[in-house]
Structure 1
Amino acid sequence: MNNDVYILNDRAILYINGTDAKDFLQNLISNDINKVTENSSCFASLFTPQGKFLYEFMVVKHKSGYFIDCEKSQSEEVFKQLNLYKIRSKVEILNLSNEFVVACFGYEKYLSIEGSKDILGFTFKYREDPIFLDPRNKLLGARLIINLEKLYLSLKKLSLKNSKINNYHIKSYKLGIVPKNFNKLKNKLFGIECNYEELNGIDFKKGCYVGQENTARIKLKNKLSKRLFPIEIIDGKLNENDTIFANDTEIGKVLISEEYPFALVKFLDKNFDKNKIFKCKNGSIKVLIPDWLEKSS
């Protein structure tokens, strides 16, 4: 069994509390807050009113409120965005990133811990701190949200050994799930184009939320013609916003170019073939389609 643990110091923790916290989140996020209980956490996003991607995060029940586990580089923006919608709601929004940390470890290790269940998003307490199986894909393992002061004692009790965060990012990228640099995606594509339906991040049965109308229209009218895919550099160099060509036909655009590259690709275009090598301005790439996405198609 792999006992590696990744301290995700590129993640931040916000806390939303107050009488209206549940309704406040329900009116904003792409998933159904009613799924979030002491025993269940969810993956969700904030979209623009037009349905474009803004931010993604985990939502975890904690005491009388909710933890928001988001990318640290976006945390101040998420904090401001939530406060923008606060208006007269009886809600308190706190940034607890200096107090809490996110640690991630493998799926098999998670199953070995007493109280775990093999259910996406399943949540239980370990010494009063929430552990949950990643709601997007179980191969991403489980997350522990814990007070920094308690972190290393808990890791010791769980027999977990610290591993480089890059190893987690590589695992996520190979699964076809964006690990970082979400600012590169902001306002560049629709939330549904991020594969959030397949990653359990959009609920099409819940009521209204910001961006719901366009998201539902794309789904119901079968207008999803582009998707976000990981890409592999075959040779040369990639730049952000590079156009991807199949011969002389544009079939995509590079959105994230460094480290773990992703592109928005016209996967239904007659010129797209997942087995082909495509050209960019200064290089060539291959589009990688994740197994979980092929199975859901």
Structure 2
Amino acid sequence: MPQDQIFHLANRVVVQLSGSEAESLLQRLITIDLDDLKQGELRHGALLTPQGKITIDFLLSRDDGQFRFDLDREQLGTFIKKMTLYRMRSDVTIEESSERVGVAFVADADKDARALRDTRSDQLGWRLYGEGAQWQTSPELENAYLARHIAAIVPQAGLDFSLDDAFPHDINMDALGGLDFGKGCYIGQEVVSRMQHRGTARKRLVRLEADMPIPPTGTKILAGEKPVGEVGAMLDKRALAIVRLDRVADALKDGLALTAGSVPLRIELPDYADFSLPA
């Protein structure tokens, strides 16, 4: 693949975990089942707090006997600190990699043996890891990638949710394949399993649509006078937001407008959603 067709994700870093006990350790910690993770696959997952909230989220792949964690740069220090704590005396090595993280959207990206498809959405293209000296970056490319996240309704930490504050269901991780409910226990598993089986998730990630530019990230979303969420990642007349579905449904029944600032909003649920607005 031509190197100038790869966009460098400068806000992402790679950490490698290796060692004879790496897989068994991770299987006890993270939300995805490593038995289902094959070489050449990329999966979205998380490390949770004991209360079931997301403390780290990542994309994970196998890399010749190691595990490659693709992380937001802001999470790097916390991730290494937590993994070092959980490792204790296990035979596990934790190393920040010099690899860069790139993404490509060209039609024949799947022919590159290094390319890993982002399973959260076809709109998010193919992930690549390497030296990346000729990979491209620009504000225009950053906005184009953000637009794809918004169109696909796929969240990004720091924009759409705060770490240690959101449950996996709040950002649709259950519908995006980031939670496994069949494997053994992991940190926070009891909380998210209860939420799944009882259907008690009240907040969900949705897309906001408007006929004029949407106010900045963090702006309160109101149904009449009642808050239902905040604007997350936004670009012109589209944005993402975690909203209280029950309050949105009540507002629509009562004919109340959804607004951010003075901008009227429409709510779009993701195509992949296995949830709907409450009746």
TM-score exceeds 0.5: yes
The answer to whether 1:293 aligns with 2:250 is no
**Which residue does 1:117 correspond to in 2?**
none
Structure 1 residue aligned with 2:182, among 199, 205, 208? 205
- In 2: Cα distance, 1:67 partner to 1:181 partner: 22
Q: What is the deviation of 1:10?
A: 1.0
Alignment-mate amino acid for residue 230 of structure 2:
V
Alignment match, 1:5: 6
**Is residue 185 from structure 1 mapped to residue 185 from structure 2 by the alignment?**
no
Is 1:47 the counterpart of 2:45 in the alignment? no
Distance 2:233 2:107 in 1: 32
How far off is 1:132 after superposition? Answer: 0.9
Asked if 1:279 corresponds to 2:263, the answer is: no
Question: Which segments of 5 or more consecutive residues in structure 2 lack a partner in the other structure?
Answer: none
How many Å apart are 1:296 and its aligned residue?
Answer: 6.4
Whole-angstrom CA distance in 1 between matches of 2:251 and 2:234:
23
| Preserved CA contact (<8 Å) 1:236 1:283 | no
Give the Cα separation in 1 of the matches to 2:231 and 2:191.
22
**In the alignment, what sits opposite 2:16?**
15
The more displaced of 253-262 and 46-55 is 253-262
CA contact (8 A) 1:38 1:61 kept: yes
For structure 1, the 5+ residue unaligned runs are 115-125, 156-160
**Structure 2 counterpart of 1:254:** 230
C-alpha separation between the residues in 2 aligned to 1:9 and 1:285? 34
Return closer, same or farther for 1:219/1:294 CA change in 2, 3 Å cut-off: closer
SS in 1 for 2:250: coil
The 8 Å contact of residues 225 and 267 in structure 1, kept in 2 or not, is answered as yes
Match of 1:166 among 143, 166, 169: 143
- Deviation track 1:239-264 (CA, whole Å, cap 9, x = no partner) reads 63x543212333x2216366685432
- Per-residue Cα deviation, 1:16-63 (whole angstroms, up to 9, x for no partner): 011111011111111111122223232111111111122211111112
1:285: Cα distance to partner? Answer: 5.0
CA contact (8 A) 2:168 2:192 kept: yes
- Secondary structure of the corresponding residue to residue 268 of structure 1: helix
Q: Provide TM-score, normalisation by structure 1.
A: 0.78
Structure 1 partner of 2:35: 34
Q: Aligned partners of 2:78 and 2:8: how far apart in 1?
A: 22
Q: Secondary structure at the match of 1:178?
A: coil
Matched, 1:145 2:145: no
Q: Which amino acid letter does the alignment assign opposite residue 211 of structure 1? A: G
Give SS of 1:204's match: coil
Compute the displacement of 1:162 (Å).
Answer: 6.5
Q: Which amino acid aligns with 1:145?
A: Y
Matched with 1:88 is 89
- How far has the Cα of 1:75 moved from its partner? 1.4
Which runs of at least 4 in structure 1 moved beyond 3 Å after TM superposition?
230-239, 255-262, 272-277, 282-285, 293-297
Aligned partner of 2:246 in structure 1 is: 268
**Structure 1 residues 64-118: Cα deviation after superposition (integer angstroms, max 9, x where no partner):** 211100111211211212112111221111111xx2011111263324x16xxxx
Give the aligned partner of residue 221 of structure 2: 244
Q: Any conservation in 2 of the 1:193–1:224 contact (CA below 8 Å)?
A: yes
- Partners of 1:232 and 1:28 lie apart in 2 by 37
SS at match of 1:271: helix
**In structure 1, C-alpha distance between the alignment counterparts of 2:69 and 2:127, rounded to whole Å:** 13
Once the two structures are superposed, what CA deviation does each residue of 1:164-185 show, in whole Å capped at 9, x if it has no partner? 2331122112211124525952
Provide the C-alpha distance between the structure 2 equivalents of 1:167 and 1:239, rounded to a whole number of angstroms: 17
Counting matched residue pairs gives 267
Q: Does the 8 A contact of 1:47 with 1:211 survive in 2?
A: yes
**Does the 8 Å contact 1:231/1:285 carry over to 2?**
no
AA at the equivalent of 1:106: F
TM-score (ref. length: structure 2): 0.83
Identical-residue share of aligned pairs (%): 22
**Aligned equivalents of 2:217 and 2:155: distance in 1?**
17
Report if aligned partners of 1:101, 1:146 keep a CA contact under 8 Å in 2: yes
Tell me the SS of whatever aligns to 1:14.
strand
Residue in 1 aligned with 2:205? 228
**8 Å contact kept, 1:17–1:93:** yes
